[in-house]
Amino acid sequence: MVSLTINSRIAAIDVGNDSLKAIFGEMDTEFTIPNVIARDVKDRPIIGIEDLDSQDPLEGIHIKVHSPTLKDNNAIYRVGHLATKSNNSTELDPGSSKSEEDQTLVMLFAAIALDAVRDENKQVFKRNNNVIDTNYTLGTGLPLREVKDGKDVGYRSSLLSSVHQVEFLVTPKYQGIKVNIKFDEVKVYPEGFAAFINLVMDKNLNITNKDLIDKRILIQDIGGLSTDVAVIKNRKVDDDKAQGFNLGVSESLEAIREEIRSRHGVELDSRRDVVDIITKKHDRNHIMVKGSRTSVHDIVDRILLELAKKQYRHLRNTWQKNSQTEIGFFIGGGSIILKDYLKTLNNNLDGYNIDFFEDEKESIWMMANAYYKLIMDYSKRNNKKEAKKEEHKFVKNK
């Protein structure tokens, strides 16, 4: 019997416009990080430096990133929650290509380094003093329109062709540790296809939704910066019908944030704060103004209804061109924000057979879960092939 040592750790990462969602290993680790970065200096000032290591590393990600794939190599960043508190923080802009932005890579490398450096992985990767050498098998994705333009090829190649390094600077628990990231394999999936996989299959890629598997389906994925509409026919994405639009929720969130600032004098740190206000379970659409609970319902309703109407027009146009569609699904973080508005519009107008995910976590984590299923399946099949090769060699040598 031949035993194979597999040192490559599975990573499934969805770098969403609002936040990054990541799943690692045998689903033993998962976390989310707001997709916000801010350029910084090496020795960021910190109050209570002696208490730094008692804090959560995810709340204080401060890193230097070295990678030939970056336009701005060796830059220092605050990432995620820490970046939202900076006055020079950047979020992805409408019209930008995820595959061509440094921000996407910085977020991706930061997430992998945060997994690699965990104490639980001391036995997984080689450590020499404060340097960790890692190997990952990555499943990730890009919007349909970028895949249609062939941008997935260059993106995958840039990740595979180099070793990328993340150095933790003033980060709780991990100061001074460097993580070298090498990818053994990278699979870049179109986001619409990934959503379909997640709709109909379990984590072992067994069909769990037989009613859906052979139906004609529209999947409208509303993100922060863009919306992708995938047309599923014969169990695959119809490339000719797939469309992408530079229409997400970010601009509307920014408009709400700006109107709250101008009308109530309340400065919200980021779009993430706006999302919290409009999705929280209790006291939704309320803020505190000078210590008084104040409704911003009129601002939120007006701006989000306008966006929902635009999204509904895209649904209607796509459905008319694909008249034999049987069901349409709204997914993604944006669908959670717009769900009530879209349902009302649909009830009052065309009455299409549309559906949403009532479980918010399932909708938000749909892409990461799909990438995990796909990359885990690839890894298992690849390991079986390698095991057979080794066994063949062993028998031959005997």
Tell me if 139 is assigned to some domain: yes
Q: In this structure, how many other beta carbons lie within 10 angstroms of the beta carbon of residue 58?
A: 18
pLDDT in tens, 264-309: 999 998 788 898 899 888 889 999 999 999 999 999 999 999 999 9
Tell me if 276 is assigned to some domain: no
pLDDT beneath 70, residues of the chain: 1-6, 45-50, 94-95, 385-398
Q: 10 is written with which tokens?
A: 């599975």
Query: What was the pLDDT predicted at 161?
Result: 93
Residue ranges of E strands in 97-177? 126-128, 131-142, 164-168
pLDDT in tens, 85-143: 888 888 777 667 889 999 999 999 999 999 999 999 999 999 999 999 999 999 999 98
Query: What was the pLDDT predicted at 5?
Result: 39
CA distance 375 to 381: 10
Residue 376: partners with Cβ closer than 8 Å, 6 or more residues away: 10, 12, 139, 203
Tell me if 318 is assigned to some domain: no
Query: What was the pLDDT predicted at 385?
Result: 67
Query: What was the pLDDT predicted at 397?
Result: 60
Tell me if 32 is assigned to some domain: yes
CATH number of the domain where residue 143 is located: 3.30.420.40
Tell me if 378 is assigned to some domain: yes
Tell me if 307 is assigned to some domain: no
Residue 45: partners with Cβ closer than 8 Å, 6 or more residues away: none
Query: What was the pLDDT predicted at 398?
Result: 55
> What total of structural domains would you count in the chain?
1
3-state DSSP of 291-356: CEEEECHHHHHHHHHHHHHHHHHHHHHHHHHCCCCCEEEEECHHHHHHHHHHHHHHHHCCCCCEEC
What percentage of the chain carries pLDDT values higher than 90? 60
Query: What was the pLDDT predicted at 41?
Result: 84
Query: What was the pLDDT predicted at 43?
Result: 77
Tell me if 51 is assigned to some domain: yes
Tell me if 361 is assigned to some domain: no
Query: What was the pLDDT predicted at 274?
Result: 92
Range of the domain at 92: 9-193+369-390
Kindly write down the DSSP assignment for every residue of 190-228, as one continuous string: EHHHHHHHHHHB-TT--B--HHHHTS-EEEEEE-SS-EE
Query: What was the pLDDT predicted at 350?
Result: 93
3-state DSSP of 347-398: HHCCCCCEECCCCHHHHHCHHHHHHHHHHHHHHHHHHHHHHHHHHHHHHHHC
